[in-house]
Amino acid sequence: MKSGIILISSILFLLCSCRPTLEAEFKYLHGEWDYVLESEIDSKQIPIGTQNWKSMMVPGLPPDWKFEKFLLIRRGLPNYNEFRDPVLYLEIALENFEVFIDGKSIYKFGDFVDESQKINGYLYPHLISLPQESNNSELRIYFNSNYHGYIGIDRNIYIGERSTIVEKILLKDYSRYVLGFFYLFISLFSITYYFVTSQRIYLYYGLLSLVNSFLTLIADYVGMNFFENKNYPHLIYIACIYLIPLFFFIFIKELYKKEINNKWLYNFFIFLYIFFLIYEIFIKLISPIQSFYLESYFYIFLIVGFFFLYFIISKSAYKGDKDSKLLFLGISIYFFLAVHDVMQDQNFFEYHFELYWYGNFFFIIIQGTVLLRRLYFIQKKFELKETELSLAKKIQFSILPSLPNNIPNWELVSIYEPMREVGGDFYDITIDKEGNIGLLILDVSGQGVGSALIASMAKAAFFKNESNIQNPEVVLSEMNKSLFGKLNGNFVTAFFLTLNPNKGIIQFSSAGHPSGIFISPVNNEIREFRTKSKPIGLFEKISYNKSYLYLSEGDLVCLYTDGVIELTNHEDECYGEIRLAEFLLANSLLPLEHLKSKLIEDLINFSRYNRMNLVDDLTLILLRYTGS
């Protein structure tokens, strides 16, 4: 339904962009002219004088033309005194020429002798100022063409009022200007969206739209006269002609990654178009006319490549893919309207109306519609994922234990902040029958859902070994046995300690985890502690050691994951172990909850943009011994 709305809107946009051709009185100079070809031209009598004249019809070719490069034509000018600002309108492409009236040169385009000054890339029309009064004057036009396909007036030649002709030209090209700037807008939007999302398909679509914008704007009177050097517009035009299929092939490749089985053939076409582009520009700089002969070979490979893509798109459309059906419609419209213009150039039709630009417009719009549809479904999937992750976050927080506040002689608080909705950091607490407290903190390599699942597996492995909490090294060893071979290349660092409810004694064992921090406010002492061993899950058999820590009343212990010390500020400096330890010592006499709040505030103030700038999940546990 939405695709239909976009398509209908596009049609209305095109209808609004079209303007009727202005009806005006012009004095057409079509019909019979005198001519003389290269070998018979008297070079001294070109502006005025006698030649061996023959008769031909204009527009058209001399009947006996055999690819000569020079042509001189003449006829008498009608009376045009009714025009206040008379101009001669000529449609001549890819030729150098000079216009004479009564032997006086009034307009010269290019150079007949100096190859460096020749202009072989300009496409019609030309507007040439005429003398204010006409007195049965004679008009002569001298042509030089290196193009073997044609010489002389291409289409129309007439006299009219300058303002009227310019208005007619601008109205005729009005829809082109609208389309060109429209393509420019969507290209900038798409490229900007690529920088936001890093999805390359939007970059390719943006580049394709940008090239179409240049092609559409450059292929008209304003575009051709925008540059002082008249060869530049055609160079840009040719580059765009070669870049469009290149970017379209890359766009389709990104869109049909799974469907394109014959990737070498696909890459062959891309390589071929790149080769044609580079070779064409090289040839164009050396010999502009020769580039036109190269185009015929390019179009052959373009048609072959077109049918290759047509097969891929139609195959997917046949299977029911809606995006492919839209693309199939777009590429079909584009193809048939392009064929129409080719047949029109070959004089299959009496009228002259270019439809390629409209076919191209529909094709660009349909490609954009496909991307919008994909963006819509991606957004829906993202919203669903966000919902699922939000639920997973609630579940993960629900299985994180609340640290008890009624343990004799001990105070405990925790900070937990995952980098994403769910994380790989975890902590757990258990108390045995004798009242011994087992406290585990762990960090799974990586972040996100995968790490969270492994953390849940580690919790289950810990749960099986709760009976061994008086032997921390045994707990870690058994967890390693349970998790080895199940982590898919990940590993787990852990720190486990056992608190004696009656004494300030801590048994501890660590598995590749950052050291714990011991703070003695009385002695103004900071000390790190841990046991050396490898992380869980790397090897099948790992031996873990146990050690002891003795605390006095008011001593503080901190366990943390590396997300705390790797927190960065605006200068990409890490928070670090030293800052953490010094902060804890400076505030070690505060109530534990107050200390926790102040630490969170310090972490936030330190981090970039005055908020947590996490490069990893962040977990921290503070313990204080309150016994004697």
Q: Residue 169: which pLDDT band, with cuts at 50, 70 and 90?
A: confident
Q: Residue 157: which pLDDT band, with cuts at 50, 70 and 90?
A: very high
The answer to the question of residue 164 being in a domain is: no
DSSP state string for 551-617: --TT-EEEEE-HHHHT-B-TT--B--HHHHHHHHHHTTTS-HHHHHHHHHHHHHHHSGGGS---SS-
Cα 14 from Cα 249, distance rounded (Å): 26
**pLDDT above 80 for 171:** yes
Is residue 353 domain-shared with residue 448, that is, in the same domain?
no
pLDDT > 90: percent of the chain: 30
Cα 602 from Cα 599, distance rounded (Å): 5
Is residue 365 domain-shared with residue 461, that is, in the same domain?
no
- Scored b (16 or more CB within 10 A) or e, 254-289 reads ebbeeebeeeeebeebeebbeebbeebeebbeeebb
Boundary (domain end) residue, out of 155, 181, 212: 155
DSSP, res 39 = G
Of 195-209, 388-402, 493-507, the least confident:
388-402
CB 337 within 8 A of CB 359: yes
**pLDDT above 80 for 313:** yes
The answer to the question of residue 13 being in a domain is: no
pLDDT at 122: 58
What's the token pair of residue 390? 């939000």
**pLDDT above 90 for 277:** no
**Radius of gyration of the chain from its Cα atoms, rounded to whole angstroms:** 40
**pLDDT above 70 for 283:** no
pLDDT at 527: 94
Is residue 79 domain-shared with residue 218, that is, in the same domain?
no
pLDDT at 112: 64
Is residue 324 domain-shared with residue 438, that is, in the same domain?
no
pLDDT at 401: 81
pLDDT at 628: 66
What's the average model confidence in pLDDT over 109-121?
Answer: 61
- The rounded mean pLDDT for the chain is 82
Is residue 364 domain-shared with residue 460, that is, in the same domain?
no
Cα 61 from Cα 620, distance rounded (Å): 89
Is residue 220 domain-shared with residue 352, that is, in the same domain?
yes
The answer to the question of residue 2 being in a domain is: no
**pLDDT above 60 for 335:** yes
Distance spanning both ends of the chain, measured CA to CA: 76
**pLDDT above 80 for 155:** yes
Q: Residue 292: which pLDDT band, with cuts at 50, 70 and 90?
A: low
Cα 504 from Cα 71, distance rounded (Å): 110
**pLDDT above 50 for 610:** no
Is residue 454 domain-shared with residue 575, that is, in the same domain?
yes
DSSP, res 53 = -
Q: SS3 for 200? A: helix
Cα 527 from Cα 520, distance rounded (Å): 9
| CATH code (residue 531) | 3.60.40.10
The answer to the question of residue 394 being in a domain is: no
Q: Residue 324: which pLDDT band, with cuts at 50, 70 and 90?
A: confident
| Chain centroid to CA 38 | 53
Cα 537 from Cα 482, distance rounded (Å): 9
Cα 360 from Cα 368, distance rounded (Å): 12
Cα 371 from Cα 3, distance rounded (Å): 11
Cα 386 from Cα 268, distance rounded (Å): 41
DSSP, res 512 = B
- Scored b (16 or more CB within 10 A) or e, 473-501 reads bbbbbbbbebbbeebeebbbbbbbbbbbe
pLDDT at 293: 54
**pLDDT above 90 for 18:** no
Q: What's the structural domain count of the chain?
A: 3
pLDDT at 609: 44
pLDDT at 353: 72
pLDDT at 588: 93
The answer to the question of residue 444 being in a domain is: yes
Q: Residue 366: which pLDDT band, with cuts at 50, 70 and 90?
A: confident
Is residue 405 domain-shared with residue 494, that is, in the same domain?
yes
pLDDT at 23: 43
Is residue 454 domain-shared with residue 599, that is, in the same domain?
yes
Q: Residue 616: which pLDDT band, with cuts at 50, 70 and 90?
A: low
Q: Which residues contact 391 (CB under 8 A, 6 or more apart)?
A: none
The answer to the question of residue 345 being in a domain is: yes
| CATH code (residue 56) | 2.60.120.260
Boundary (domain end) residue, out of 348, 379, 410: 379
Q: Residue 608: which pLDDT band, with cuts at 50, 70 and 90?
A: low
- pTM listed for this prediction: 0.57
pLDDT at 411: 93
Beta strand residue intervals within 130-231, DSSP E: 138-144, 157-161
Q: What is the pLDDT of residues 213-270, one digit of tens each?
A: 988 888 777 766 676 766 677 778 778 888 888 888 888 888 887 777 667 777 788 8
Is residue 147 domain-shared with residue 196, that is, in the same domain?
no
pLDDT at 124: 66
Range of the domain at 431: 400-625
DSSP, res 69 = S
Residue scoring higher pLDDT (258 or 413): 413
Peptide bond into 125 cis (omega under 30): yes
Is residue 232 domain-shared with residue 309, that is, in the same domain?
yes
Residue with tokens 């992750």: 389
The answer to the question of residue 139 being in a domain is: yes
Is residue 128 domain-shared with residue 196, that is, in the same domain?
no
pLDDT at 22: 43
